[in-house]
Structure 1
Amino acid sequence: MNLKPQDVFITLKLVALGKQPWTYAQLASELHMSASEINGGVKRAIRARLVAPAAGRGGNPRPIIMALEEFLIHGVKYAFPPNRGTMTLGVATSYAGPPMRDLVQAHEDLPPIWPDPRGATKGIAFEPLYKSVSKAAMADPKLYELLSLVDTIRDERARDRNLAARELSSRLKEWAGSL
C-alpha cells in the first residue's frame, strides 16, 4: 500500500482543520473526493506513519507533525515531482501563491498555476497533488497556504524552496503547539 499524492492533500487538510473534529463525509465534501478515497488516503497515511490512528472512541486520526514535516521538506519533491504544462488560466501556486507571493521578489516568468477555468491567473500549468486541489484551496485559505508551500518545495527553485521549508515548518509547529 504505497502513499499517493492525494494522501498528502488529505493530510494537509487534517493539518488545516487543527483540533476540529471531522468526518469522512465532511472531508469528502470539502476536498471534492469520495468518502472511500478519503478513507483509503487516511489509511495509507497511517501506514506511512504520517498520521496517527484515532485515539479512543469518537476520536479522529491526527497528523504526526514531526514525520509529516520531514517528509514534506525532504521527500515530497522526489515522491511527487510536478509535471508542467502549457500556458493557461488557473489558481496561483508555489512561489506565486500565498504566503510565498508576499515573501519573495516577483519572478519575471509566468507563474505556476493549478489549471482551473474559475481561476483568474494566467500562468504555466503546474500539476496539483490531486485534481480538486484548486477548488478545495479556494474554499480554505489555510489549506491553500499549506498546498502552495508544499508546491514551492516540489518546484525546482532552491532559494524559494528553502524559504518555503522554513515557512511550512513554522506553520506545522504552530499547529502542533495548539494540540
Structure 2
Amino acid sequence: MNLKPQDIVILLKLCGYEESRPAYSIIAADLGMSPSEVNGALKRLQAAGLIHGPEMGQTPILAATEEFLIHGVKYAFPAKRGHFTRGMPTSYAAEPLNSLIAAGDDPIPVWPDPTGKKRGISLAPLYRSVPEAAKRDPLLYQRLAILDAIRSGGARQRKLAEKELVKNLRKRDGKL
C-alpha cells in the first residue's frame, strides 16, 4: 500500500491533536477532503508505520513521522514549481521560516490561490485543498510550509526547516 500526498497532510493534522484523533468527518471537513479519503489515509499511514493502530487512538508515532518527513517526503513527493501567480506564501516565505531565512530578490514560493495576497512562483501543494485547510489552521499552515522548504529548498533551507519541523511537531492541540 503506497502513501498518497493527502496522507501527509492528514499526518501533519494528526500531529496537532492532544490525544486520539477526532471523527473522520471532522478531520475531513477541516482538510477539505471526504471521510473516505481520511479513512483510506489512516489505513495507509498505519501500514507505513507512521501512526498507531485504532487501539491506540491512531496517533502519530513521532519518531517515525519525523524521520519520514525529514528524509523521505522530498523523494516520495518532490516539489513541483510552476509559473508566476497569486497565492499564499509557503516554504521559506511563510511562518516560521520567514523570520529565519531572507527572501532575497527572487520571487517567493506560493501555493496558487485566487484570494492570495502575494505573488510569486507557484509551488504545487501536496493536495489541492491545502491552501483552504491552511487558512483554517495556522499550526497546520506552518507545518506544511516547513515541509515545502524540506521538499524544495537548498541545503541551508532544508537544515533550518528540519530543525523547525522537529520543534513544531512537538506542539500539540493547535497551540502555537
Tell me which interval the TM-score lies in, with the shorter structure as reference length.
Answer: over 0.9
Query: Does the alignment pair 1:44 with 2:44?
Result: yes
Displacement of 1:53 after TM fit? 1.0
Displacement of 1:107 after TM fit? 2.3
- Write the distance in 2 (CA, Å) between the matches of 1:147 and 1:170: 14
Q: For each residue in 1:60-97, what CA deviation from the matched residue of structure 2 results, as whole angstroms up to 9, or x when unmatched?
A: 31011000000011111111001111001111000001
- Write the distance in 2 (CA, Å) between the matches of 1:151 and 1:82: 7
1:107-126 mapped onto 2 (5 Å cutoff): 107-126=104-123
Letter in structure 1 aligned against 2:104: H
Please name the residue that 1:152 is paired with: 149
Q: Which runs of 4+ in 1 moved over 3 A?
A: none
- Write the distance in 2 (CA, Å) between the matches of 1:42 and 1:20: 13
Letter in structure 1 aligned against 2:36: S
Q: What SS is found at the alignment partner of 1:117? A: coil
On the 8 A contact 2:20/2:59 being kept in 1, the answer is no
Please name the residue that 1:54 is paired with: 54
TM-score when normalising by structure 2: 0.93
Displacement of 1:16 after TM fit? 1.9
- Residue segments in structure 2 that go unaligned for 5+ positions in a row: none
How large is the Cα RMSD of the aligned pairs?
A: 1.3
Please name the residue that 2:18 is paired with: 18
- Write the distance in 1 (CA, Å) between the matches of 2:40 and 2:4: 10
- Write the distance in 1 (CA, Å) between the matches of 2:152 and 2:105: 16
Please name the residue that 2:30 is paired with: 30
What is the total number of aligned residue pairs between the two structures? Answer: 172
Q: What SS is found at the alignment partner of 1:87? A: strand
- Residue segments in structure 1 that go unaligned for 5+ positions in a row: none
